[in-house]
Amino acid sequence: MSLDGTYDEGNIFAKILRGEMPSAKVFEDDHVFAFMDVFPQSKGHTLVIPKHSRARNLLEEEPQVLSHLILGVQRVARAVRAALQPDGIVITQFNGAPAGQTVYHLHIHIIPRWEGVPMGRHASGGMADPKELAALAEQIAAKIS
Ligand code: AMP
């Protein structure tokens, strides 16, 4: 999919938001929802999405929604740091298939990194154990402030 197109209400993140698909939830407020990536590029790979949005990518999003989104990302990234003590954290976001985007509901990746531990490939590694994801989500959620 290119940068242009229409929002698909059947995309996987819209289904998660509607409760039609399970997720390992980390955090939620009026504006954002955070949950574990099921194909994590590192331990603790978390996604943050706007709850009230039909933007497929960053370019389509309303400024007000973006403001809440980035504040949510900062809050969750701080919790990831407190919970998992990484050496660094990658914050990333893809727009359009040629850029690597695979799900077309705006989302931001929080990927903790440790010295000497290579980052997994984007959206193509193995699926994580749901129990492990649930445990990580709980650990991170406990550090949300
Ligand atoms: P992107 O490729 O930037 O659009 O990112 C989409 C991300 O969603 C990838 O990192 C996938 O591993 C992840 N993903 C796909 N399906 C699910 C799902 N059901 N629950 C959580 N993460 C998912």
The three-class DSSP label of residue 76 is helix
The three-class DSSP label of residue 136 is helix
Counted residue by residue, the chain has a size of: 145
Q: How far apart are CA 10 and CA 137, in angstroms?
A: 25
The closest-lying atom of ligand 1 relative to the alpha carbon of residue 41 is: 10
Homologous superfamily assigned to 12-141: HIT-like (3.30.428.10)
pLDDT of residue 125: 76
* CB-defined site of ligand 1, < 6 Å: 12, 21, 23, 37-39, 47, 94, 100-103, 123
Q: Which amino acid would we find at residue 98? A: P
pLDDT of residue 76: 98
List, for the chain, all residue ranges whose pLDDT scores fall below the cut of 50.
none
Contact 3, 20 (CB under 8 A): no
Residue 119: how many CA atoms within 13 Å on its side-chain side?
18
What is the helix (H) or strand (E) element at residue 46, kind and residue range? strand 46-50
The closest-lying atom of ligand 1 relative to the alpha carbon of residue 45 is: 10
pLDDT of residue 1: 65
pLDDT of residue 116: 97
Q: pTM surpassing 0.95? A: yes
pLDDT of residue 124: 78
Q: How far apart are CA 64 and CA 5, in angstroms?
A: 22
pLDDT of residue 122: 87
Q: How far apart are CA 129 and CA 39, in angstroms?
A: 10
Q: What are the structure tokens assigned to 99, written together?
A: 């850029």
